[in-house]
């Protein structure tokens, strides 16, 4: 059993070339921007209105992406301006050029409230990452050795020295709420909010066209990162993620999903069901592992197959702890802070033996980790 969903249908074999667009439906265009590393690319979308365009997500904040945007602005907009920028959520591959594009066209940014303010706070927070007691306590309790912690801090320092920063955001925005409708090009795009990968992630659903722009909320291949960070160490985002999956299960089965990574696909319900089952399977594997009490870092090989570098360890560990916290909320794991300053987790469900199938688990995940 793996977390691949085998029966999805991909109507497009490849991504549009950088700098070009591909029409998906009347007034809906797909483009791809480059990303560094294993993630490789992000899909962005253009929605045509009578008097201008909406941009959905904006790509990484670098010169290469902005050059490609300039090409697209010059060639693909039929001499109409961009009239709005919609960011599905606050991650930097989605918000990277929101400020630049809204400045060029003096147009509005549309985001949900939690995403907008978190994006703004992250753009000032990055200088603090890796160098405070919140950070150190969090990773010490998770079982990280001081050597590994040092490596992680070094990887942050070198990223900061290389000029990495979270994108600056426009100073104002227009708020999107769950259930809002945006009229664009004569048809209706309904905002459907999910949570877990980020706090208030907006998807755009068009019932007339049978299309959903899903951001990172629904991806066909990659398992979206659902993670706990030192900024909210007791959070339970996997709970929100599972609730959101139940909510999105009511998406009509024949909807074409336009994701932010991988290719557009049909089969949304199969994908959601597989992801729910995958996380349930991961949690069960953790419970089986915690029959002998252990710390979070010991669970990484249960969840991930690939070798993890400093920053990936941070994401992977955050994800392991997200699974742990949902198990704690379900009264299946107990946590104990021991004298060594580490959290130890122990399985406490007397029924675990009946549910166990330790010989038949999903393989550890080997897809890229999202930012
Ligand atoms: Zn994301």
CATH number of the domain bearing residue 245: 3.60.15.10
Start-end of H helices in 198-250:
237-248
**Contact present, 294 and 247 (Cβ < 8 Å):** no
At residue 165, the pLDDT reads 75
CA of 218 to the centre of ligand 1 (A): 10
Cα 354 to ligand 1 centroid, rounded to whole Å: 36
Q: Is residue 115 domain-resident?
A: yes
The verdict on residue 87 lying in a domain is: yes
Ligand 1 centroid distance, CA of 86 (Å) = 14
The confidence score (pLDDT) of residue 354 equals 93
- Which residues make Cβ contacts (< 8 Å) with residue 128, sequence separation at least 6? none
Distances (CA, A) of 271 to 29, 200, 224: 23, 21, 12
Query: 115 C-alpha to center of ligand 1: Å?
Result: 11
Within a domain: 39: yes
Residue 177: DSSP 8-state: -
Residue 214's nearest CA partner among 180, 166, 255, 242 is: 255
Distance 347 CA to ligand 1 centre (A): 31
Output the CA–CA distances (angstroms, integers) from residue 293 to 142, 171, 286, 335, 355, in the order listed. Answer: 13, 48, 11, 9, 19
**Residue 370 CA, ligand 1 centroid: distance in Å:** 6
Q: How far is the CA of 259 from the centre of ligand 1 (A)?
A: 11
Q: Residue 262 C-alpha to ligand 1 middle, in angstroms? A: 13
Token pair, residue 182, equals 């945006």
- Give me the domain span that covers residue 56: 22-125+164-277
Residue 216 covered by a domain = yes
Question: Is residue 14 situated within a structural domain?
Answer: no
- What is the 216 CA–ligand 1 centroid distance (Å)? 5
Q: Which residues of the chain have pLDDT under 70?
A: 1-4, 125-130, 366-371
User: Residue 129: what pLDDT?
Assistant: 64
Evaluate whether residue 150 is within a structural domain.
Answer: no
Distance from the alpha carbon of residue 311 to the mean position of ligand 1, in angstroms = 15
Whole-number Å distance, alpha carbon 91 to ligand 1 midpoint, is 5
Residues lying with their CB under 5 A of ligand 1, a single-atom ion: 91, 216
231/229 Cα distance (integer angstroms): 5
With a CB cutoff of 8 Å and minimum separation 6, the contacts of 283 are 323, 326, 327, 332
Return the residue matching tokens 């902005």. 66
Edge to edge, what strands does the sheet with 41-49 contain? 22-25, 28-34, 41-49, 52-56, 82-86, 108-112, 174-176
The whole-number pLDDT of residue 2 equals 45
User: For residues 228 and 2, what is the distance between their CA atoms, to the nearest angstrom?
Assistant: 24
Do 227 and 318 touch, CB atoms closer than 8 A? Answer: yes
CA of 88 to the centre of ligand 1 (A): 9
Q: How far is 42 from 56, CA to CA, in rounded Å?
A: 11
- pTM of the predicted structure, to 2 decimals: 0.94
Q: Indicate whether 319 belongs to any domain.
A: no
What contacts 11, CB < 8 A, 6 or more positions away? 256, 264, 265, 266
- Ligand 1 centroid vs 116 CA: distance in angstroms? 13
How many domains does the chain divide into? 1
């Amino acid at each position: 059993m793996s977390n691949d969903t085998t029966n999805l249908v991909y109507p497009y074999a490849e991504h549009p070339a950088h700098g070009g667009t591909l029409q998906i439906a009347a007034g809906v265009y797909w483009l791809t921007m480059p990303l560094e590393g294993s993630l490789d690319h992000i899909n962005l979308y253009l929605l045509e209105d009578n008097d201008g365009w909406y941009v959905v997500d904006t790509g990484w904040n670098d010169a290469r992406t902005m050059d490609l945007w300039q090409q697209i602005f010059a060639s693909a907009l039929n001499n109409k301006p961009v009239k709005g920028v919609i960011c599905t959520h606050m991650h930097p591959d989605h918000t990277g050029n929101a400020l630049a594009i809204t400045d060029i066209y003096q147009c509005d940014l549309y985001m949900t409230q939690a995403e907008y303010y978190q994006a703004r706070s992250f753009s000032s927070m990055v200088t603090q990452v890796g160098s405070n007691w919140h950070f150190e306590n969090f990773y010490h309790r998770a079982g990280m050795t001081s050597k590994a912690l040092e490596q992680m801090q070094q990887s942050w320092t070198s990223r900061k020295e290389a000029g990495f920063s979270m994108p600056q955001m426009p100073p104002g925005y227009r708020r999107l709420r769950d259930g809002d409708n945006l009229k664009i090009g004569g048809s209706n795009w309904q905002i459907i909010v999910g949570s877990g990968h980020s706090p208030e992630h907006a998807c755009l659903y068009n019932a007339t066209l049978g299309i959903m722009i899903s951001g990172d909320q629904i991806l066909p291949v990659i398992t979206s990162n659902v993670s706990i960070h030192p900024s909210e160490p007791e959070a339970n985002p996997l709970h929100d993620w599972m609730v959101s999956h139940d909510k999105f299960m009511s998406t009509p089965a024949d909807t074409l999903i336009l994701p932010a990574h991988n290719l557009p696909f049909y089969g949304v319900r199969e994908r959601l069901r597989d992801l729910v089952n995958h996380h349930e399977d991961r949690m069960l594997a953790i419970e089986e592992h915690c029959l002998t009490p252990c710390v979070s870092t010991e669970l990484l090989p249960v969840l991930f197959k690939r070798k993890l570098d400093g920053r990936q360890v941070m994401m992977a560990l955050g994800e392991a702890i997200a699974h742990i916290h949902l198990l704690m909320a379900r009264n299946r794991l107990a946590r104990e802070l021991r004298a060594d300053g580490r959290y130890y987790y122990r399985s406490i469900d007397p029924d675990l033996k009946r549910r166990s199938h330790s010989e038949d688990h999903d393989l550890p995940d080997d897809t890229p980790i999202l930012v």
